Amino acid sequence: MKYILFVRLWRLLAVVMAVSMIASPVLRAEEQSVRPGINRYYQNPDWQQWVNTFERSGREVYDRRHEIVAASGVKQGMAVADIGAGTGLFTRLFAERVGREGRVYAVDISRTFVENILRTSREQGLGNVEGIVNSDRDVSLPPDSIDLAFLTDTYHHFEYPLSMLSSIRTAIRPGGRLIVIDFRRDPRFSSRWVMGHVRAGRQTVIDEITGAGFRLIDDKPLLRTNFYLIFQKQGA
């Protein structure tokens, strides 16, 4: 009789513990980094070095920058987040496109990058740029604050893609969009550097983002070494 009572109590305790784990995020295992140390170069970056790296002829997203922005569908008055803004190349282009009534958030984990983006934006007379130093798990944007989240060669730098996608989705307004441009990872034509540096190929990126509450609505054949995917936020 005591043994039966003990078994019943144990089963009840197991149920209570399971429910508690579901209800309490604190008890859930935290997401593990998929690429530890991938962003170590941006902890104390040399600004001019990265300008020379990112804003140079021969880099596909730089050479096609105006076409990339035009294909984004961004219009005057929109709120755009340039996530992983780097040297602010696309931040400034979007700021010109959204106009004075619009807003562009330059989001980056590097304070050096954000401070210099704000400086160069002011020098160009762009008063609609706001800088945000975010964490590696969160974009630090208010809920329903942006119409478009834009990532170019940034997704493969996400150490915690599930957490970041959840944060981005929260920041995007209902029906808003997420654009992801990143390297094509294909051993048939990708460089050795891309194969070693980039974690996920195009299909993996699509699977992860659609699994986070987005729907793929366009796959633009605009670039050769990068893919250009447009997603829309689903649900409330």
**pLDDT over 70, % of the chain:** 87
In a domain, 47, yes or no: no
Within a domain: residue 38? no
Instruction: Kindly report the pTM of this predicted structure.
Output: 0.86
> What CATH number corresponds to the domain at position 91?
3.40.50.150
In a domain, 30, yes or no: no
What the block records as the tokens of 84 is 């992983």
In a domain, 15, yes or no: no
More confident residue, 43 or 71: 71
pLDDT of residue 39: 86
Q: Does residue 31 sit within a domain? A: no
Task: Examine the pLDDT at 9 and tell me if it is beyond 60.
Answer: no
Domain holding 62, by residue range, is 57-233
Confidence of residue 213 (pLDDT cuts 50, 70, 90): very high
Sequence-ordered strand ranges (E) for 144-222:
146-152, 172-183, 214-220
User: 24: pLDDT confidence band, cut at 50, 70 and 90?
Assistant: very low
Share above pLDDT 90 across residues of the chain, in percent, rounded to a whole number: 79
* Structure-derived torsion over alpha carbons of residues 135, 73, 213, 187, reported in degrees to the nearest 10: -80
Domain total of the chain: 1
Question: Does 211 fall in a domain?
Answer: yes
Residue of 54, 127, 123 whose CA lies nearest to 84: 54
